[in-house]
Amino acid sequence: MKTYTVHRRRAGEETPGAELSSPRLLRHRRWVRNLIFGDEDAVVFVKEGVCWPAAVFTLLWALWHRLWAFALCLCAVGVALGVFLDALEPDPIRDLTLIIAVLILIGCFANDARRRALAWRGYDFVGVVVGNGADGAAQRFLDGPDSTAEGSRP
């Protein structure tokens, strides 16, 4: 069973100055906003723990989840790590160990960066749900607080 945090977009948020804009301009703003921030009405489930896809596909994972600042930080960390390793005497075992350690560290903090980005984009933390996967967690979330876990029923 995996634990997920649930985030929902705040209801009623509208683009500032929307009443003064033309319908065409509003359509373009909405398109750009969806490109940058994603679906406005979505409920997002973020897994707790190490995010292995983020550890393996660091930059692609960050761009896929529209974490632009996190992707920029990952590039800076990669460049800094490359410069640091280039300044040292070549030792393949040490270099590989250091790179793997940095990738695991990125995986440990990737979902936290995603939660912070969701909060900045206007998503509220709704709660925590446990499920066999993202689909199971979504189903338990949709079932509501009346659903109980198996084995806990009298």
29 pLDDT band, cuts 50/70/90, is low
Residues 6 or more apart whose CB falls under 8 angstroms from that of 127 comprise 5, 6, 141
pLDDT over 80 at 41, yes or no: no
| Amino acid (1-letter code) at residue 78 | G
What pLDDT score was predicted for residue 151? 38
Q: Is 114 exposed, middle or buried (0-12, 13-18, 19+ CB in 10 A)?
A: buried
CB 45 within 8 A of CB 4: yes
Beta-sheet strands, E only, within the chain: 2-9, 43-47, 123-131
pLDDT over 80 at 26, yes or no: no
| Bridge partners for 5 per DSSP | 46, 128
Give 129-143 pLDDT, tens digit per residue: 998 888 888 888 888
The kind and range of the H/E element at 92 are: helix 92-120
What pLDDT score was predicted for residue 153? 37
Give 61-116 pLDDT, tens digit per residue: 999 998 999 999 999 999 999 999 999 998 999 999 999 999 999 999 999 999 99
